[in-house]
Each structure stands twice: as C-alpha cells, then as structure tokens.
A and B are shown apart, each in its own frame.
Chain A
Amino acid sequence: MLNNFAENLSPGNVSNLVEIVKVTKIYPPDVVALRNVSLRARKGELIFLTGPSGAGKTTLLKLLCRQEMATKGLIEIEGKDLSALGDNDIQKLRQRIGVAYQDFKLLPRLSVSQNVAMAMEVRFMNPLDIKERVAELLAKLGLSEKHHKPAGKLSRGEQQRVAIARAAAGSPLLLLADEPTGNLDSATTALVMNLFKELNESGSTIIIATHDESIYQGTSHKKFELRQGELYQV
C-alpha cells in the first residue's frame, strides 16, 4: 500500500496542480461514491470528467474543494495534502479555487453583481477592479441587463451563468464546473465554453464534470469517465 503511494507521488514536480491518489469516498453508512480513483491534473490543463448521473462526478469535485473529505487515499493541490490543512489554509485555498456548483449556491436576495463580487471580496480585491471584472464577466455571459436583479428572480439558465461567472471571477488557479451547461441552450453553452477556453489559455486549470456530450465531442483535451465510482481515461 505504502509502496503504491510512493509510485504515484511525484515530489518536486510543481507542474502537477492536482494529484489524486487511490481515493475512495464512502458516504455514511455505506454508499461508495468513489472507488480507488487516481487522477492527475497539470497546471493549465482542461479536463472533462464524464459519466452518467450518480457516477460520482460531483463527489470528486467536492473532494477537491474540501467540501467533503476522502475516506481513503491522498489528495494534493500544489503539493499540499488537503487532509492536513488547517481551517485558515483551507479558506486560503478555496479563495483560489472557483467552483460552479451544480445547484449554483447563489444568494437569492442579493443582486447578480453582488453574488459575483462576493468571490473577489473575500480575497480583498480592489473594489474598482471588482466592479470592472463583474461587468466584464456578465457581458461575456450575456447577462449585462441583469446586474441589479436579485439572483433568485432569474431563470435557471441565468442562475447557472451567474454561478459560472462567480467561479471564474477571481481568475482562479483551479476552476471546477459541475454540469455547467445543464440548463443552457446551445447559444449560451457556446458563451460559457468560450469563457472557459479564455480562462484556460490565461493559465487556469479547469475540470468540467458533465454528461453533455456536445461540449466534449472531438475535443483534444483529456477526458475521463466515471462509472459507478470508478475512473477510466477515455
């Protein structure tokens, strides 16, 4: 067991941003969501994580932002073992990971721009820069008209794009998108994929969990498939 760990570790290799080694996740009492999963993401990579509903995609993303803890195995980001991080370090790490949640996790009473700005405010970014960045992102995602609307009053497709804008806002080191096009038509899907491409080109590592074939068909990026908690490279 220890030997296997050692083989998979590559200390000193800084270009490995995410290192998942033989991770198993069991939800109490006995739901095995992930089984012995290993995955490596280098800096600047874009990875598609596919698989049917219930395969464990969301669980894997949750492990990466320490919303859940692995039952077994090792998860490292930038060489840091997530299970060993203290409370403050986790928060510092979360500031650099943008997550577009499957269920959005927006604050319905706050305006669209406030929702997006929050991700940058927790990092104490300059208020003027925040304003500029919010406007830029909302324009790119076709939400320019919605700045002041409460997020709860938007359609699901619009809420989904707000969640994506918030995840992308701080130009994160790592962007995790969970079914980002689940509620979008093909035109807005294209807007979202363009944004991801831009971010990726400017250095963000991106992991997209999806069962929407149209967005990963014929792509040159890495594809993995989860099937009942087990990971296969495609």
Chain B
Amino acid sequence: MKFLVFMFMQTGRNIRHSWGVQLMTLLTVTLSVLIFSFFFLIYTNMVQAGLKLGEGLRLTVYLTAQLNPAEQEEFKKKITDFGRVEKIIFITPAEAFARLGRQLGNDKDVLDDLNPAFLPYSAEIYPHKDIKTLTRIKEFSDFLKNLPGTMKVQYGQGWVERFGHFVRLLRFIVIISGTLLILTTMFMVSYTLRLTLYARQQELKVLRYLGATNSYIKGPVLIEGFTLGLFGSGLGLGALFFLYQWVKNHFGATGFMNIFEFSFLPVSNTAMILFSSIMLCTLGSILSIRRLLKI
C-alpha cells in the first residue's frame, strides 16, 4: 500500500518534470487510437451490412423450358450435391409476371397488354449461410450456368463484387492503421520515456546513492506507460464516440444511415482496443527502462 503511494507520488513528480513531452505523447497515442478505431468502426459496420445483404442474396437461374416434377427433383439433387442450399423455389412465368406487377406498384398498367409467356421459367436458389463468401457464390453460379437446361444465372454480380472490393480495401486500411497504432504507441512511448530518463540521469544517480531499489526507479516509469495508454486510448475512443454521435445526430435522418443500421463499436471491441493500447504503452515503458544504466 505504502509502496503504491510512493510509486504514484514519484510518477506524478516525473510527469510534472516533463509534462510537455508527455502531453505530446499522450496526444499521439490519442490520435493513433482515434484513427485506428475510426476505420475499424466503419469496417465492422460494413461487414455487418454485408452480412445483412447476404441474407437476402439469391441466385436466379433462367431455364430454357419448364421442368416436370421428376426433372425438378433431379435439378434439386444436382444442386444440393454441389453445395448446401437453404431452399430452391421454381417460378412459372405467371408467378414472375405477378411479382413484376407488384414491384411496379402504381405503374403496373404498362404490363396490361403483355402476355406472361414472354417471361422464362426460372428457379431461385437461396444458398446456405455457410457459402455466402463472394468466391463461393461465384463458383456456385458457374456450376449452375453449366447445368443442362440453364439459360442464364443472375445474382447482382456487379454490386456484390464492388462491395467486396470496398470491404477488402477497408480491411487493408484497418490493418495499416492498426500497424501504425502499434508502432506509434509503443515506440513513441518508449522513446519519450527514454528521453525523460536521460533528462533525469542526475536524479537517478542520486536516487541510487540514496539506496533506491530498482523497483522504486522502474515502477513509476511503468505506471507512466500504463497511464499514457489508459488516457491516450480513453481519449481516442471518447473522441470517436463523440464523432459518431455528432454524425448520427446531423445525418441520421438523411439517407445513408438508414440503408443499414450504423452502430458504435461493441463493448468487447472497445475493451480490446483499450486493453491493447495500455499493454502497448506499458510495453513501450518496459523497453525504455530495459537498458537503464546501472550505477
């Protein structure tokens, strides 16, 4: 208990001694955490949105002719042999025509003079959740294209692909900013603390002469690293939350926020970012004292 009191007193003294550099380091940590968690927030929301869209994803196979029940069973069997599906629905031209009418709503009178027969027979295939990755869907579609009696396969390729590229780009940015976060926090903290230790060399020497133990000298430096990590990431995440709230309040009603649920990082992710920043900064402070001179 007394030990801790002294550790914190000494830490306070160290921070006061070089508060300028410490503040700079704190801001650097804050900024790196903010940048990283910003991209991470966008990334998780995009992935979430992708999952939601994927839930409604279906492949439509246009058939050259109507399949009789036996042919339908065979068709189903071939598909389920290839990959798991949620369900397969066969659609007649009449059903497709009715659906088209529903989709057109008030404009459905344009269909009035048309014969439903101009629409082809088709089958809708809802793949199982497990094969919702882009490449798997593609494979699936290639397989369906080669089935006898298939005219064309459609699944909103262009859109899905573009979305996939976007998510991949985001993932790349998240990794880059995460690496930056690691580098800046760890090395910046260790560099700063080493600088302050050099500035305190005379004091450390005197402390050694007075009988200060290793833990008395190193403890406060560790606490400094820990504190920088705690406040740096706390401020960074706090800033992100305010940013998030601000965007939500100003643009929440208008358009894009409504396309998909845009939500803040889950508690577990927030805790992970907080925890790893603290660990990184503490690690930085360990690096800074590792080679602390022996007197």
Contacts and interface: CB of A to CB of B under 8 A. Distances in A.
B171 interface: no
Given A118-B207, A122-B207, 18 more contacts: A65-B209, A67-B209, A88-B214, A91-B214, A92-B213, A95-B211, A96-B211, A99-B209, A105-B205, A105-B206, A121-B6, A122-B211, A122-B213, A124-B2, A124-B3, A124-B6, A127-B5, A166-B210
A119 B10 CA distance: 13
A89 B5 CA distance: 23
Nearest to A114: B13
A51 B155 CA distance: 101
B214 A87 contact: yes
Contacts of B216: 122
B294 interface: yes
B3 to A, nearest CB: 6
Contacts of A123: 211
Contacts of B214: 87-88, 91
A122 B2 contact: no
Interface in B165-222: 202-203, 205-214, 216
A91 B211 contact: yes
Interface size range on A against B: 20 to 34
Interface in B210-250: 210-214, 216
Interface string B240-274: 00000000000000000000000000000000000
Contacts of A127: 5, 9
Interface residues of B, number: 20
Helix, strand, loop or mixed for chain B's interface?
A: helix
A149 interface: no
Contact of B203 (A94, A107, A126): A107
User: Which of A67, A95, A124 has most B Cβ within 10 Å?
Assistant: A124
A215 interface: no
Interface string B1-45: 011011001100000000000000000000000000000000000
A221 B159 CA distance: 99
Nearest to A95: B211
A143 interface: no
B82 to A, nearest CB: 70
B161 to A, nearest CB: 64
B2 A126 contact: yes
A119 B210 contact: yes
Contacts of B6: 121, 124
Contacts of A124: 2-3, 6
Given A87-B294, A124-B6, A127-B5, A118 B206 contact: yes
